[in-house]
Amino acid sequence: MLADVRTSHDCPVIFLYVHEAHARDLWPLSTSAPAVHGSLPERLEAASRFLKRWPAFAAQVQATYVDDMSNELTLEYGLWPERVVLLRHGKVEWASDFELYTASQLLNQAQCIFSA
């Protein structure tokens, strides 16, 4: 799905790692959940582990960024784990809902945005 958007519209896939979604000391879903990141190096390591765990996704990523510890980008763009945002010239043109989205929704939105 991301490969289709990337190749069809010549746009990069950027991975932005944000705060831990279900940290055991914040909003735990299991007893084995990781703790909230205490520093930027911890957040960088978590992003690296994520990409190693999901190599097919990592292969589509052209750039990786990590939100700072104040969560500035998360707050500015209304980011959420597993949310997809399509940017054009630095402006958010479309963002997935906080629920699941289909591949066809993403591809249709990319077609509308990047073909205009």
Q: What are phi and psi of 88, to 5 degrees?
A: -135, 120
pTM of the model: 0.74
Q: At 36, is the pLDDT very low, low, confident or very high (cuts 50, 70, 90)?
A: confident
Write down the CATH number for the domain with range 2-114. 3.40.30.10
Query: What are the structure tokens assigned to 29, written together?
Result: 């879903």
pLDDT at 57: 87
102 to each of 9, 70, 82, 84, 116, how far by Cα in Å? 18, 31, 13, 11, 22
In the prediction, which pLDDT does 116 show? 67
Phi/psi at 83 (5° precision)? -95, 140
Q: Which amino acid is at 105?
A: Q
Q: What does the domain layout of the chain look like in residue ranges?
A: 2-114
